């Protein structure tokens, strides 16, 4: 819950000058708790003088919502699990609001920066017209934070099957600085002798791998991104196809995997073998696919990785397709990232 700290007119007259001092008090006095009764009691009326705009911010310290939609889906935001922080300075009152865990009734959503307010996420229907969704304070409608969303429509040529193979050599590969490598990069970097694609360069290898190639020679900080489409929310079996190394390794020691942002451990031990291109399929692990676009990220944070060959997905139903099954409908959304840190000073606009 929140609290009030009386600061009088001093803040409204000197708000820049007292910013640091004010936040120091906020930090120290965090345990006070008289604000909530006042918050619900009309002191924060919506018809405040709009010529003196309320300053502050609203943001998620924990955000649980679905970012990928098919045209016609309802917007999905988990108010039970999410944790929303509101800080506001209303020039009409001599108090600062600092609420660490805003109750569900006190925030909602707006789309495309229009004035219409939605208390419940499920009352928003996602379509190509929804360019942005904002989390917004119920009382202070100018305090909002962007929730990036993608809305897709089904490609007319899409087909769905019970299995899907995604080759590492055709996945999106990112350099340690976050740059997405081109197909030419994958065939020429880090050197033309043994580039990332094992079937390219002066020394080719991996012909026995799935698709006749693996990704090799990659280094700490790099990552793969695989995307696939599921026509429904469903559990899937994921098989990771890698290559042996001479010595046994714990796969999770170097590879970190997320599925739609959720961490995944394989707990697999890769046995030692001959060379660096002998295919080896890890035991299946179960993952939860969401309806629509799904993203698996595999980042590597050590040296000398097992070469990566492919990912294989298997379902009990015909629900799987590659990412070309969906066409992005709501392009031109603002490029806004979510800051989930809890630093007051960074985001304060008081």
Give the DSSP letter of residue 186.
H
Question: Shortest distance, CB of residue 62 to Ca ion, whole angstroms?
Answer: 37
Question: Shortest distance, CB of residue 265 to Ca ion, whole angstroms?
Answer: 23
Helix (H) / strand (E) containing 255? strand 255-259
Indicate the residue among 104 and 181 with the shorter CB distance to Ca ion.
181
Indicate the residue among 91 and 211 with the shorter CB distance to Ca ion.
211
Indicate the residue among 187 and 234 with the shorter CB distance to Ca ion.
187
Indicate the residue among 106 and 205 with the shorter CB distance to Ca ion.
205
Question: Shortest distance, CB of residue 195 to Ca ion, whole angstroms?
Answer: 14
The rounded distance, in Å, linking the Cα atoms of 4 and 33 is 7
Question: Shortest distance, CB of residue 201 to Ca ion, whole angstroms?
Answer: 16
Question: Shortest distance, CB of residue 207 to Ca ion, whole angstroms?
Answer: 10
Pairing of strands 326-328, 292-300: unpaired
Question: Shortest distance, CB of residue 198 to Ca ion, whole angstroms?
Answer: 8
Write the CB contacts of 3 (distance below 8 Å, at least 6 apart in sequence). 29, 30, 31, 32, 33, 34, 35, 98
Q: Report the residue number whose CB is nearest to Ca ion.
A: 211
The rounded distance, in Å, linking the Cα atoms of 344 and 350 is 10
Indicate the residue among 69 and 224 with the shorter CB distance to Ca ion.
224
Pairing of strands 249-250, 55-62: unpaired
Indicate the residue among 2 and 305 with the shorter CB distance to Ca ion.
305
Give the DSSP letter of residue 35.
H
Asked whether the beta carbons of 318 and 162 are under 8 A apart, the reply is yes
The rounded distance, in Å, linking the Cα atoms of 60 and 82 is 7
Asked whether the beta carbons of 272 and 247 are under 8 A apart, the reply is yes
Residues near Ca ion (CB under 5 A) are: 167, 209-211, 309-310
The rounded distance, in Å, linking the Cα atoms of 119 and 108 is 4
């Amino acid at each position: 819950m929140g609290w009030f700290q009386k600061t009088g007119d001093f803040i409204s007259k000197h708000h820049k000058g007292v910013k640091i001092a004010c936040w120091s008090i906020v930090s120290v006095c965090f345990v006070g708790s008289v604000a909530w009764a006042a918050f619900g009691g009309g002191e924060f009326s919506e018809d405040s003088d709009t010529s003196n705009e309320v300053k502050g911010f609203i943001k998620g310290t924990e955000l649980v919502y679905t970012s990928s939609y098919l045209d016609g889906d309802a917007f999905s935001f988990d108010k039970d699990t999410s944790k929303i922080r509101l800080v506001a300075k209303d020039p009409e009152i001599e108090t600062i609001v600092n609420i660490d865990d805003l109750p569900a009734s006190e925030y909602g959503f707006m789309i495309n920066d229009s004035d219409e307010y939605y208390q419940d996420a499920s009352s928003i229907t996602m379509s190509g017209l929804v360019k942005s969704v904002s989390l917004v304070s119920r009382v202070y409608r100018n305090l909002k934070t962007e929730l990036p969303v993608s809305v897709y429509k089904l490609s007319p040529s899409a087909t769905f099957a019970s299995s899907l193979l995604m080759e590492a050599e055709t996945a999106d590969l990112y350099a340690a600085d976050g740059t997405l490598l081109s197909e030419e990069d994958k065939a020429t970097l880090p050197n033309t002798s043994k580039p990332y694609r094992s079937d390219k360069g002066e020394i080719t290898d991996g012909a026995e791998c799935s698709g006749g190639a693996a990704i090799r020679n990659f280094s700490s900080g790099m990552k793969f991104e695989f995307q696939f489409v599921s026509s429904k929310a469903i559990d899937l079996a994921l098989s990771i196809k890698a290559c042996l190394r001479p010595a046994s390794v714990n796969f999770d020691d170097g590879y970190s995997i997320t599925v739609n942002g959720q961490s995944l451990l394989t707990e697999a031990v890769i046995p030692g073998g001959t060379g660096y291109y002998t295919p080896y399929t890890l035991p299946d692990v179960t993952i939860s696919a969401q309806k629509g676009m799904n993203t698996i990220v595999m980042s590597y944070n050590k040296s000398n990785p097992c070469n990566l060959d492919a990912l294989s997905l298997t379902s009990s139903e015909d629900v799987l397709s590659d990412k070309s099954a969906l066409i992005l409908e709501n392009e031109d959304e603002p490029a806004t990232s979510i800051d989930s840190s809890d630093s007051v000073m960074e985001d304060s606009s008081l």
